[in-house]
Amino acid sequence: MSETDVKARASKKYVRTFIFSMRTGTPIEKLHVVTKVFMIVVLSTLTLYMFDIPVSRGGPDFIGLGLLLVLVFSLLAISRTAKYLVNSYLVLSIPVILAQFFWWLFFSESLPGAKMTFYLWPGFFPIGVSTLVFVGTFVLVYFKTRSITVSLAPAVLLWWFTIMPSVLAHSSLATWIKFPLGGTYSFSLPQWSAYIGFAKALGYAILIYTSFLFLLTTRDVEIGGALRQLRVSFRKAFFVMLMFRNLNTILLDYESIRMAQIARASSVIRSGILSRMKDLAYVSIPLVATMIRRSTEMGVALYARGFEASKGMTNYKETKRLSGVDYSIMALLIAFLIYEVILGHSITTLFGR
Amino acid sequence: MSEGENTVAKTETKFPWSNYTLKLGRGEPVSTTQYVLYAVQIAAVIILSYLSVAVIPLSYAGISIFYFVYPFFLVFTMWWGAWGMLGAYVGCVVGAGVLVGTGPVPSIVYSISDLVPPLIAFVLYRGLLSKRGYDPLWRDLTDKEVAGVKTKRVGAWFWFILINGVILNIISAEIGVGVLYKFGLVATNGFWPFWIGWVVGDFVAMVIITPVLVKGLTSLVERQGLVNHGWIT
C-alpha cells in the first residue's frame, strides 16, 4: 500500500459496511475478516450447544448464554455500531425472540420438574416491576415512533408477560402493591418449559446479534481481499465481491419499484392478502428486467476495461494481515469451544445452579 | 447417417427447446456479461430471500408463510442452470439465514433445502420432460404455442404442480424444518405446524409468481441469448 493510500485511509472517519457504516480505528475494525468469520461461527456453535443441553445433563447453560450475550453487546459497543442496531433492528428483533420463548413454552414435549403457574389474570392489579416495564417500554417506543397506539401495544404486551409467572406476581420484590380486581385465571406448565423457553430466547438473541455484529463491522471489499489471501483466483474473488456489492443496489431497486407501485395506488385498489401477493408478483418483472439491464451494462463496462484479458491483478488495498490479536482471539475461542463442547463442562455448573 | 443417428437427430430438433440439455454448455467460456449476470442474480436472490423472511408477518427462524423467492430461484435455475442453483443456496444461507439471525452454522446446513428443488427440477425438465414435449423454460404454462409448436398446457401445469409444488416442496420442507429441528431452533411439538407453513408458503408463492415471471421475462432473456444451453453456459 502506498503512503498516499495509507494517509487517505487514515483520514476516513467512517467506512461503509454491509449494513450502515462503521467508525474506523476501533479494535473491531482492525480485526481481520477471517477472525470475524471464525468468531461468528464459534459463537453460533457455542450457542446452539449451550441452549440444547438436555435436562438429564443439567439443562441449558444459562450463565454461559448470558455471558455470550454480554460479550456480543460489548463488541457492538466497542465497534461503536450499537447505535445503528438500536435505531434499526433491535425493536424488530424483540418479537422474534419473544416468539421463540412462547413456541418453546407451549410446544415442548412433556418435561420433568414441578408445575409452574402462569396467570392470564392474577386477580389483582399489581404495582411493581411490571409497572416499570410498562412505563419503560412505552417511553422508549414513544420516543422512537411518537405514536401512542404503537407505543401502547408492546408496553401492554410486555407488562402482561411480567405479571404472568406466579413467582413474579407473588414476590414482594417484584410486586409492591396489589389492588384486588376480578377473578383469577391461570394455567400450569412444567418448570422446565419456562427455563428452556428462556434459554432458547436467550440463544436466539445471541444468534441474531452476532449476525448483526458481523454485518455492521465487515466491508464487502475485505472479503474479496481475504479470498485473494487464501489464494482464491481473482475471477472467483471478484465474483463474490460483485455479489455483495450489488446487494444494496438491488434493495434500492426493489424499494423504488415498490414506491412506484404505491404511487400507482396499488395498495389502495387492492386490499386482500391474495391481491397483495399478486402485487408482489408484479414487482418481479421490473426487478428482474432491471437486474438484467444492469448486468449487461456492467458486463460491457468490464469488457471495455479489458477484464477478460487481465492477468496479474493488484491486490485490494483493504487487505490486512492476521495480527497477534487475531491469533489470540481465535485461540481463546477454540479454548472456550473445547471447554464447553468437547469436554462437556458448563459455566452454569461452574458457578453452581 | 445410420437410422439410429437419424432418430436421435430428429428427436433433438423436434421441439424449439431441444437445444436446452443437460450438457455442461456450448463448450465456450462464461462471457463477461454472463459472469456479471450470475453474480447479480445471486445478490437478487439474497435480497428476496431476506425480504421473504424478514418482511412477511408470522415468519420464524428462516421459515416464511409466503416464501416468494422460491419461484425466482426455480425460474433462474431453468434459465441459468448451476448458477441458479448456486443462487438458491447462497441466497438462503445469507438472505434467509445469516441476515435474519439464524446463525451461520444452521444456515449453511438448512439451506440445502433450497438447493435440492431447483437441482432436481432442472434434471427432470431438461433431461426427461423436454423430450416428452414440455418446455424446460416453462413457457407452456402461459403460452398456447412456443415458436410455432403447440404446447400441452394442461400437462405442463400437472407436472409443474406435481414436481415443484408437491414432491420437491415436501422434500425441501422435510430437509429444512428437519435441520432446524435438529439444531433446536424449532420446538419439539412445533415440527408439523412449521412444516405445513413451509409447504403452503412455498406453494402459494410458486403458483402466483412463476407464471408472471415466465410470461413477462423468459422471451426477453432468451432473445438476449442469456439462457444457458447446459449446466454452466
pLDDT of residue B83: 95
User: Nearest chain A Cα to B37, which residue?
Assistant: A295
Residues 91-130 of A with CB under 8 A from B: 92-93, 96, 99-100, 103-104, 106-109
Find the mean pLDDT for residues B88-111.
89
Does residue B231 or residue B17 have the better pLDDT? B231
Higher pLDDT among residues A219 and A90, named by residue: A219
Please tell me whether residue A232 adopts helix, strand or coil conformation. coil
pLDDT of residue A267: 59
Residue B189 touches chain A, beta carbons under 8 Å = yes
Look at the block and give the residue holding cell 385465571.
Answer: A185
Domain range for B95 = 29-223
Q: B179, B112 in Cβ contact below 8 A?
A: yes
- The answer to whether residue B8 is domain-embedded is no
Q: Is residue B105, in this structure, part of any structural domain at all?
A: yes
Please check the confidence at residue A1 and state whether its pLDDT lies above 60: no
What confidence score (pLDDT) does residue A50 get? Answer: 93
What's residue A272's pLDDT?
Answer: 67
CB B62 within 8 A of CB B198: no
Average pLDDT, chain A: 84
Point out the least confidently predicted range of A125-139, A158-172, A328-342, B198-212. Answer: A158-172
User: According to the model, what pLDDT value does residue B128 have?
Assistant: 92
- Over pLDDT 90: what percentage of chain B? 46
Looking at residue B66, what is its pLDDT? Answer: 82
Interface list for A 185-204 with B (CB within 8 A): 200, 204
Contacts of B188 in chain A (CB under 8 A): 107-109
The amino acid that residue A6 corresponds to is V
**What pLDDT score was predicted for residue A17?**
83
Q: With H, G, I as helix, E, B as strand and everything else as coil, classify residue B21.
A: coil
Q: Which residues pair with B182 in a beta bridge?
A: none
Residue B47 in domain: yes
| Burial readout A320-344 (b: 16 or more C-beta within 10 A, e: otherwise) | beeeeebeebbeebeebbebbeeee
- Shortest distance between the Cα of B66 and any Cα of chain A, in A, equals 8
Across the range A243-265, mean pLDDT stands at: 86
| Cβ proximity of A242 and A302 under 8 Å | no
Task: Report which of B105, B190, B175, B186 is spatially closest to residue A49, judged by C-alpha positions.
Answer: B105
Q: Are A283 and B208 in contact (CB under 8 A)?
A: no
Q: Confidence band (pLDDT; 50, 70, 90) for B87?
A: very high
Residue A329 predicted with pLDDT over 50: yes
The predicted pLDDT at position A4 comes to 63
Position B139 in a domain: yes
Q: What is the average pLDDT value for chain B, to the nearest integer?
A: 87
Residue B214 lies in a domain: yes
> Strand, coil or helix: what is B121?
helix
End-to-end CA distance of chain A: 54
CB B38 within 8 A of CB B179: no
How much is the average pLDDT of A147-154? Answer: 84
Q: Which of A217-221, A251-255, B199-203 has the highest mean pLDDT?
A: B199-203
pLDDT score recorded for residue A109: 65
Alpha helices (runs of H) in B111-167, residue ranges in sequence order = 112-127, 153-159
Instruction: Give the burial class of A153: count Cβ atoms within 10 A of its Cβ; 0-12 exposed, 13-18 middle, 19 or more buried.
Output: middle
pTM of the shown model: 0.84
What's the pLDDT band for B13 if we cut at 50, 70, 90?
low
Query: Of A211-220, A259-268, A333-342, which gets the smallest average pLDDT?
Result: A259-268
Least confident interval from A27-36, A103-112, B119-128:
A103-112
Tell me how many domains chain B contains: 1
The alpha carbon of residue A109 is apart from the nearest alpha carbon of chain B, in Å, by 6
Q: At what angle do helices A234-263 and A220-229 cross, to 10 degrees?
A: 160
> Which residues of chain A neighbour B216 with C-beta distances below 8 Å?
284-285, 289
Element (H, E) at A118: strand A115-121
The predicted-structure confidence for A196-229, as pLDDT tens digits, reads as follows 888 989 998 898 888 888 888 888 888 888 888 8
Residue B105 has pLDDT above 90, yes or no: no
Residue B57 within a domain: yes
Could you tell me the sign of the dihedral formed by the alpha carbons of A85, A89, A92, A94, in that order?
negative
Contact B47 A250 (CB under 8 A): yes
Tell me what percent of the residues of chain A surpass a pLDDT of 90. 24
More confident residue, B114 or A221: B114
Cross-chain Cβ contact A277/B224 below 8 Å: no
What percentage of chain B exceeds 70 in pLDDT? Answer: 91
Task: Decide which of A193 and A318 is more confident.
Answer: A193
Interchain CB contact of B36 with A (< 8 Å): yes
Contact B47 A247 (CB under 8 A): yes
pLDDT at B67: 86
Give the list of residues 6+ apart from residue B94 with CB closer than 8 angstroms, or none: B46, B49, B50, B107
Q: State the nearest Cα–Cα gap between B10 and chain A, in angstroms.
A: 34
Residues 166-185 of B with CB under 8 A from A: 183-185
Q: Is residue B152 part of a domain?
A: yes
Q: How far is CA B119 from CA A10, A309, B35, B44, B107, in A?
A: 47, 33, 20, 19, 19
Q: What is the CATH number of the domain that holds B162?
A: 1.10.1760
pLDDT score of A327: 95
Tell me what the mean pLDDT of segment A328-345 comes to.
93
State residue A266's pLDDT score: 66
B174 lies in some domain? yes
pLDDT for residue A353 = 52
pLDDT at residue B10 greater than cutoff 60: no
Residue B60 phi/psi, 5-degree rounding, is -155, 130
Q: Do B98 and A104 touch (CB under 8 A)?
A: no
Q: What was the pLDDT predicted at B100?
A: 81
Q: For residue B1, what pLDDT band results from cuts at 50, 70 and 90?
A: very low
